[in-house]
Structure formats: structure tokens, C-alpha cells
Amino acid sequence: MKSDRALALLAPAAALVAAMLSGCSRVEQAPAVSYTLLDGRRTELAALRGHVVLVNFWATDCAPCVEEMPAMVANWRRFSPQGFETLAVAMQTDPPALVSNFAQARALPFGVVIDNTGEVARRLGNVQFTPTSLLINKRGEIVKRWVGKTDFEALAPLIAELDGRG
């Protein structure tokens, strides 16, 4: 009896390990999230369904975030003609005026989100560290997460694959 109970307790862990070793990953649906863009427009993540989307959580005082912005802009310029979208979500601790100045000074061409309540960060996985990025496929599923700087070299073929051009 005890061995049956032990096996029952170990089975879920064994299945998880097997999935990890086989390269399988759990895909999760991106939650419904509304947000305000820097220009004041309110919209929601669901409006981007049908597009591959990179959501990047960043802060103006985060050195790695600032360092990766040029690569993020280059990535957006490369893939936006195919409908790729990028949302740069400024963390709750960043004053909107500072975010606005940063975005204007660097001519950020993609959507910049002001998350002044922290709701976007909470809904998309309780993000607390910057930079953190999520890649969302056309069906609205989160297929990849990065905590720390995004590897844009590795990201490019993944975007192309998700977009159907890989």
C-alpha cells in the first residue's frame, strides 16, 4: 500500500521531468490585460491576437534594460513589416514623465506601456525583475519567457518560425 501511494505522489513529478528532458514546454494562454500606451490610448493585449508579440518589462534606471533597447528597436524594425509587435512595459516604479522622455529621446518605434498600477506586470506572471520578456504567438499563447537580457540572436529564428516564415 505504501509503495502505491509513493508511486502516485511521484508520478506527476516524473511526468514533469520527462517533459523537460524531451524538450517539451508548457504553453500558457496570455491573460486578458488592458493597458495604457504612452500616447494615452487604452487598449488590450487581445487586440494583438494574430500577431507575434514581444512584451518587454523594463525600467529607465535598469542598466541592462537601457543596454538592450537598441537591439529591441532593431528587432522590431526587422520583423514589424510582417506584423510583429513589441510592447515595452515601463514598471510601476517608473514616473511616466521619465518614461516619456526616455522613449522620445530614443525614438522608440513600438508601443510603450505605462503600467502605473502594476496590473500588467501582475497579470503577465507577477513580473518583478527587469528586464523580463515574454514572446506571445499568434494564438495569444506565451511561448517563451526571459528574465534578464533577451538573447535577440536566438529570438530572431523563433519569431520567424512563429510567424510562419521560418
pLDDT at 166: 53
Q: What average pLDDT does range 131-154 have in this prediction?
A: 95
Pairing of β 85-90 and β 53-58: parallel
Query: How far is 37 from 15, CA to CA, in rounded Å?
Result: 41
pLDDT at 25 over 60: no
pLDDT at 32 over 90: yes
Locate the domains of the chain by residue range. Answer: 28-162
Query: How far is 146 from 65, CA to CA, in rounded Å?
Result: 12
pLDDT at 163: 83
The domain 28-162: what is its CATH number? 3.40.30.10
Is there a cis peptide before residue 109, judged by omega within 30 degrees of 0?
no
The residue among 2 and 17 whose pLDDT is bigger is 2
Query: Which residues touch 21 (CB under 8 Å, ≥6 apart)?
Result: none
pLDDT at 156: 93
Q: How many angstroms separate the first and last alpha carbons of the chain?
A: 52
